Amino acid sequence: MAMYTIYKHCPVFRNEQITLRPVLEEDAPGLLNCYADQKAVPLFNADNCNGDTFYYPTAERMKQALDFWRYSYDTEQFVRMTIIWNPTNEIIGSVEMFNRGEAPGYGVHGVLRIDVMSVYEQEEVLNAVLELVQEHFYTEFGVEWIMTKAIHAAAARRAVLTGQGYIPLKEFELSDYYGRVKKEL
């Protein structure tokens, strides 16, 4: 098990546009808007998720996902955080992160999943999420690299990633991944 403090106390991260905070059971209705969004689901990263596509069209299925996310946090498998769009205080999706360990050529790396409603799959939102991730997640998860998936159809996401210094990972064992190494300040 990991020994990172984020698993003992999951903080809240905030900038002007976005708040990332631990997923709560009462987030289910807001998260359902994201996970029942058939335009958004194809952009989600379901690699190594045992067949879960992250399409949750019912309140019951969303609750099951939340229960699993809480269990996974409690057992230090990954951290799932709710994304709140501060201008409207709306829940627009979630992020997940975990330390995946060593990978040849990349050292200790984390895998980041960003799931947002299709109307929020845009530059301003994705940039705000990534700014918080980059400011906090390298340290919180003890990683040198952050990897995230962006399929070809996710044009806005790929553009934002490259603009934020992520590079396409041609030699990574999973396809359509972009990575960014921690920059020393």
Residue 34 has a pLDDT of 97
CA 99 to the chain's CA centroid: 12
Q: For position 1, what pLDDT does the model report?
A: 41
Cα 116 from Cα 94, distance rounded (Å): 7
Per-residue pLDDT of the chain (185 residues; tens, 9 = 90+): 445 689 999 999 999 999 999 999 999 999 999 999 999 999 999 888 888 889 999 999 999 999 999 999 999 999 999 999 999 999 999 999 999 989 888 889 999 999 999 999 999 999 999 999 999 999 999 999 999 999 999 999 999 999 999 999 988 888 999 999 997 64
DSSP helix/strand/coil, 98: strand
pTM of the model: 0.94
- Going from N- to C-terminal start, the domains of the chain cover 14-181
Based on the number of CB atoms within 10 Å of its own CB, is 145 exposed (0-12), middle (13-18) or buried (19 or more)? buried
Longest dimension (CA), the chain: 45
143 and 167 Cβ atoms separated by less than 8 Å: no
**DSSP E strands: which ranges in 23-139?**
79-85, 90-103, 107-116
Tokens at 20, concatenated: 């990332």
Question: How far apart (Å, rounded) are the C-alpha atoms in residues 95 and 112?
Answer: 7
Q: How far apart are the first and last CA of the chain?
A: 29
Looking at the domain 14-181, which fold is it?
Aminopeptidase (3.40.630)
- C-alpha angle 159-160-161 in degrees, rounded to nearest 5: 90
pLDDT, position 4:
66
Cα 84 from Cα 92, distance rounded (Å) = 6
Q: Crossing angle of helices 59-74/28-35, nearest 10°?
A: 110
